[in-house]
Amino acid sequence: MKIFKFCAIIGVCYMLPSMLLAQGTVGNTGTNTNGSTNNGIVTAVPFLTISPDSRSGAMGDAGVALAPDVNANYWNPSKLAFIEGQDNASLSYSPWLRNLVSGINLAYLSYARKLDERNTIGLSMRYFNLGNIQLIDGGQNDQGTYSPNEFSIDGSFARKFGQNFSLGLTARYIHSGLTNGAVVNGQQTKSGNAIAADVSAYYTIPTRQFGKDAQMSFGANFSNLGTKMSFASNGQQYFLPANFRIGAADTWYLDNSSQFTLTLDLNKLMAPTPPIRDANGNVVSGYDDDRSIPAGIFGSFADAPGGFKEELKEISYAAGAEYGYNKQFFLRAGYFYENPSKGNRQYATLGAGFKYDIFNLDLAYLLATQQKSPLANTLRFTVSANFGGK
């Protein structure tokens, strides 16, 4: 049987039958692939919760209710019904967790096509590369390298109902290739596969506020509602990172050239909270987390061992602001907060955007507030194009 020696990438994940790789834990650092600490709720493929694009990435990772663009495929597919232009495309790239290891990166490709005034379809793909690992056998002989990776492919449909409201539906295929199929402790490891769906809604209305024209918007997205994922033959099955995101955005048109936007998102992971067990494994507080998919998703709102107070800790907050001049130059800032006992991601964000003709270039920079955070100094880059827009 081969023994895997990792170049500071997945560490002990392949060695344990409990399949810690379901969390995407990076080495022995205690950090998950989405940048959170592993004291939070365990799910498969946490890379699905990484914000891919630079606009929302610069606004504290908030985006469920922002003005629509092609990256609504991730944030809130129902917003696609309101995009401008017949064809929109975007490519985002981010080196990830570079304070821990080199070679990890996230790429996101998004496309939308407006079929008519009411209906829009979207396609997107995200690819998460975890770098290279070195393979050696029991005699410490070099067996080459392996490149673990994960990806998802989405198809979305959005439809307007009236002038102000839309609904969206997304189908998703997820693949997690964190193992090359070796037998570990008598178990045949394998790649994980799952299917999932998103259900989303968006409402926007023009208004007057403080003597200025304004636009108020509200959004909600239930994402990653899908099958469980396993990484070994007859191994434990893990929930996907199903998430409930709700938010609002308010844009004021200050004059003919300037506008200012504030936005706020709230996120709740819809996966079972692990109970407190005694030495014999019996549940002494909370609820057994070995449940069916519907029971796990709906029960996630009231299953924390600490009751309602702990449930509130499982809500993360993302707030952002954007100033735009002449619809060409944009400055952005934001803040993301996650409770220290539920992942402990806390950081500020900054960014800028520039529009030239049909093209947009957006940059985002993450300023982590924790000392020596693996997310510190993270950069995101996005290039997008709007074909046929105003």
Residue 381: what pLDDT?
96
pLDDT score of 141 more than 90: no
Q: Token pair for residue 105?
A: 């990166």
What does the DSSP assignment read for 140-201?
A: --EEEEE--EEEEEEEEEEEEETTTEEEEEEEEEEEEE-----EETTEEB--EEEEEEEEEE
What does the DSSP assignment read for 3-60?
A: EEE-SSSSGGGGT-TT-GGGGT-BTTTTB-TTS-BTTS---S-GGGGS--SHHHHTTT
Helix (H) or strand (E) holding 109: strand 104-114
Residue 63: what pLDDT?
95
pLDDT in tens, 10-35: 433 333 333 344 445 655 556 788 88
What mean pLDDT do residues 146-165 have? 94
What mean pLDDT do residues 6-10 have? 36
What mean pLDDT do residues 299-328 have? 94
pLDDT in tens, 72-98: 999 999 999 999 888 999 999 999 988
pLDDT score of 284 more than 90: no
pTM over 0.85? The answer is yes
What mean pLDDT do residues 368-376 have? 72
Give the residue from 280, 358, 264 showing the smallest Cα distance to 62: 264
Residue 7: what pLDDT?
37
Residue 79 is classified by DSSP as G
Residue 123 φ/ψ, nearest 5 degrees: -135, 145
**Which residues, including other chains, have CB under 8 Å from residue 199's CB and lie 6 or more apart?**
167, 168, 169, 170, 221, 222, 225
Residue 281: what pLDDT?
82
Give the residue from 140, 139, 173 showing the smallest Cα distance to 156: 173
In order of start, what are the domains of the chain with their CATH numbers? 3-273+314-387 (2.40.160.40)
Residue 2: what pLDDT?
34
pLDDT in tens, 206-261: 999 998 999 999 999 999 999 999 988 778 899 999 999 999 999 999 998 999 99
Q: How much is the mean pLDDT over the chain?
A: 87
Residue 14: what pLDDT?
35
Count the helix, strand and coil residues of the chain and give each as a percent rounded to the nearest 5.
10, 50, 40
**Which residues, including other chains, have CB under 8 Å from residue 298's CB and lie 6 or more apart?**
270
Band of pLDDT at residue 54, cut at 50, 70 and 90 = very high
